[in-house]
Amino acid sequence: MSADRRGNYVDPITVEVIGSALSSIVEEMGEALVRASFSTNIKERRDCSTALFDRHGTTLCQAEHIPMHLGSFIGIIPEILKRHPVETMQPGDVFIGNDAYAGAGTHLPDIVLGEPIFVDGRIVAWAVNTAHHADFADRGHAHIYQEGLRIPPIRLHRAGELQKDVQELILLNCQVPRERLSDLRAQMAANRLGVRRMQALCGKHGTETVLAVGDALQDYAERKMRAGIAALPDGTYRFADTYDNPELGRVLDVSVEVTIEGSEMRLHFDSPPQVRAGINMIYTALLSSVYYAVKAVVDPTILPNSGLARPITVTAPLGTVMNATHPAAVNGRTSTCQRAADLVIGALAQAAPERCIAAGNGACATASFAGIDPQDGHLWVYLETIGGGSGARAQKDGLDGVHVHMTNTSNLPVEALEVEYPLTVLRYELVDGSGGAGRSRGGMGIRRLYRAEAECHLRLDGSRLLTAPWGLAGGHPGGRGTFRFGQGVEPFVNGAGSLRAGETVEIITPGAGGYGPPDERDPAAVARDLADGRTDRAAAAALPLELRHCETLQPNRPRNQRENALKAEKPSNSATDASGRSPMPM
């Protein structure tokens, strides 16, 4: 038997059974949201998350979707409880919000819905989800008032009845209201499923038992986090990095100081004053970045609930890029959150290098297209966030072409993209040589070449364009990202501009850093790198003599044994486009 913080005793088997049921509920909510949604950003790219909160407004369980969305969750239930007396709430009430400065999100496109779960006339938990609505495009980002409609936590449904005037106000301020309405209905359905499943769980095991298990699970997460921190050497670890972004066109210096003392960890972040660009992040976004990174290093098996945060203290000066205050713009905060995660991992690598990875692509390379469909005259908005390299590990290579750290979305398949929008993808491939060299090689970035079939506006966002992802323990940095424009494209300003029909833009995302000295790499792995086109002969020629004499590099092999190696010598621009033609020169 084990006791929670309130003295309730629950046996471990019951904790495990009910804990697994809670995890199943949030995962099922997530699948329902994805399958019922309308927009490509949710139904294809899965840019959404689901969670259950306890009656006090703390995280009970979060689905394994997108770590960034924890920042949208952790503020909204406490804010609802502060604004709306519990005694006025009824079954069927649904609250909606998105405002970063009203406890309802971390940027405006992430719309959060929360619904109280009643059992026997009292609130026992909350069903919560957030979905990224690909809207609010072609806007300024000097301050949050330019970025879209701000929604504080208000009722969308009252006792099960839709508040039509609230819904109409929201949809009137959206550019693609048909998508927004359908996605909001999918969010409603996901929460209703969570409500029913939680009520059934309470009916099966008893409400008091379920509540006691919820408390016990949070206490268990705290104990595991404390044990993991205590296993690290005490000390203060500092790490500095840089952050760049197309909106700024310059590099910002950022740093963290991590202090480990017994079973507790304190993290203090320094960054420049908040800027008139959409790269600022609010405190809850910083918290979600820290909780993710610390959990990943200390113990990835810790349950994703609020208990893991109890031994962790996070500070940053108010009014800075990493702890912005009203009215700072926050639309592009994800890349900044990625850098916060990089900082934490870089600092903890000094305490536990075998548990950490080299820098990943460190960005959220984003393309936001918007235009008028020439066929029906309706406005369309297409959002894509593109993956890149994942950092090399102590004993394994980094992953190629994936989202890292704070993002976890899928790509939009080319077939779906070209059916939905007046765009054509000419190239979609990994970038040769973009993974940093090392005993373990960094992951490779992605190249994606678009051609506009109709005039459209485009905003590009990303990072690691001016500085490269760093390596660890002697590993080399990965390749930087870049944006390249086809012939005739008017110059973009602060990452924003327009494309005419037939014009192209090429997005190259960063690779990732390597781990360990390159001269310690297994010769067989070097051969595979050359055969697969992950590196070239020039890079291999810089390796020590014993590696340069691996089988792939021997010139006197029979021709049929050298074919794969020869592929690595082909220039990267020899690839053909989707129609078999050579792409337009950049």
Confidence of residue 8 (pLDDT cuts 50, 70, 90): low
- How far is C-alpha 80 from the chain's CA centre? 25
Asked whether residue 50 carries a pLDDT value surpassing 50, the answer given is: yes
Q: Is the peptide bond before 327 cis (omega within 30 degrees of 0)?
A: yes
Average confidence (pLDDT) over 323-343: 95
Q: What CATH number was assigned to the domain covering residues 2-223?
A: 3.30.450
Q: Which two tokens stand for residue 573?
A: 């621009």
- How far is C-alpha 430 from the chain's CA centre? 20
Task: Output the pLDDT for position 4.
Answer: 56
More confident residue, 257 or 7: 257
Q: Which two tokens stand for residue 280?
A: 């600022």
Q: What angle do CA 79, 191, 103 make, to 5 degrees?
A: 15
Q: Position of tokens 């790499």?
A: 521
More confident residue, 368 or 536: 368
Q: Where are the alpha helices (DSSP H) in 414-555?
A: 414-420, 523-532, 537-541, 545-548
Q: What percent of the chain is predicted at pLDDT more than 70?
A: 90
Task: Output the pLDDT for position 538.
Answer: 56
Confidence of residue 71 (pLDDT cuts 50, 70, 90): confident
Distance CA 241, CA 470 (A): 9
Confidence of residue 148 (pLDDT cuts 50, 70, 90): very high
Average confidence (pLDDT) over 400-406: 93
Asked whether residue 192 carries a pLDDT value surpassing 90, the answer given is: yes
In tens, the pLDDT along 171-187 reads 999 999 999 999 999 99
Q: What angle do CA 228, 234, 236 make, to 5 degrees?
A: 115
Tell me the DSSP string of 372-389: E-TTT--EEEEEEEE-B-
Asked whether residue 7 carries a pLDDT value surpassing 70, the answer given is: no
Task: Output the pLDDT for position 564.
Answer: 43
In tens, the pLDDT along 525-543 reads 988 888 887 875 555 555 5
H helix and E strand count, the chain: 14, 21
525, 395 Cβ separation under 8 angstroms: no
Q: What percent of the chain is predicted at pLDDT more than 90?
A: 77
Tell me the DSSP string of 250-270: SEEEEEEEEEEETTEEEEEEE
Task: Output the pLDDT for position 342.
Answer: 96
3-state secondary structure (DSSP) of residue 245:
coil
Average confidence (pLDDT) over 425-433: 94
Closest CA to 43 of 447, 365, 368, 413: 413
Distance CA 248, CA 518 (A): 34
Distance CA 71, CA 68 (A): 6
Confidence of residue 66 (pLDDT cuts 50, 70, 90): confident
Q: What angle do CA 33, 166, 50 make, to 5 degrees?
A: 20
Burial of 12 (0-12, 13-18, 19+ CB in 10 A): exposed
Q: Position of tokens 């329902």?
A: 32
Task: Output the pLDDT for position 546.
Answer: 52
Confidence of residue 314 (pLDDT cuts 50, 70, 90): very high
Radius of gyration of the chain (CA): 25
Lowest mean pLDDT segment, chosen from 25-39, 41-55, 320-334, 553-567: 553-567
Task: Output the pLDDT for position 140.
Answer: 86
Lowest mean pLDDT segment, chosen from 405-409, 444-448, 464-468: 405-409
Task: Output the pLDDT for position 560.
Answer: 43
Distance CA 306, CA 308 (A): 5
Average confidence (pLDDT) over 51-68: 91
Backbone φ, ψ for residue 21 (5° rounding): -65, -40
